[in-house]
Amino acid sequence: MENKGLTDWIILDKGSQCSIMEPKQVLAKSQAEFDAVWREAFESMDMPPTKPSVDFSANWVIAVFLGEKNKGGFEIDIQAISQTHGSTVITIKEIKPGPNCLSTMSIEYPYLLASMPRQSAEKVEFTSVEAIRNCD
């Protein structure tokens, strides 16, 4: 999926199972940083997703993990990436299942990996917004 805004990004992978149990947001600016996040998230899994290939001379990787959720139906998306006062601001949207949504009662660990073009801003900030999926 490609999204347009002040900064474009591409979703590399998203899912409901990884090994990161606490909420976490990482901006990997090098292959070594991405490798470390990938190992932490997927190395201990029996069937990990295929690791995406990223050109770090032109891109960075956004890795967002919601941590443990006691039921299914949670999702992560990127709402926007913008430049503000010399900072890159990455706004993450956490989508929660509404009260009338059917969901599994299994424990899930939602994650999202996206690539974005390298930025000149020295500082990077993550912000979060919540949304509730309406299943009426």
Mean pLDDT of the chain: 90
Taking a C-beta distance cutoff of 8 angstroms, is the pair 125, 89 a contact?
Answer: yes
CA–CA distance, 71 with 68 (Å, rounded to integer)? 9
Joined tokens for residue 21: 């149990």
What pLDDT does 127 receive? Answer: 95
What pLDDT does 45 receive? Answer: 92
Question: Using one digit for the tens of pLDDT, what is the confidence trace for 73-127?
Answer: 899 999 999 988 888 999 999 999 888 888 778 899 999 999 999 988 779 999 9
Q: Residue 65, exposed/middle/buried by CB under 10 A (0-12, 13-18, 19+)?
A: buried
Q: pTM, whole model, 2 decimals?
A: 0.89
Residue 3 pLDDT > 50: no
User: CA of 42: how far to CAs of 23, 47, 48, 84, 104, in Å?
Assistant: 15, 9, 6, 33, 22
CA–CA distance, 65 with 35 (Å, rounded to integer)? 16
pLDDT confidence tier of residue 6, bands split at 50, 70 and 90: low
Burial of 32-52, coded b for 16+ CB within 10 Å and e otherwise, reads: ebbeebbebbbeeeeeebeee
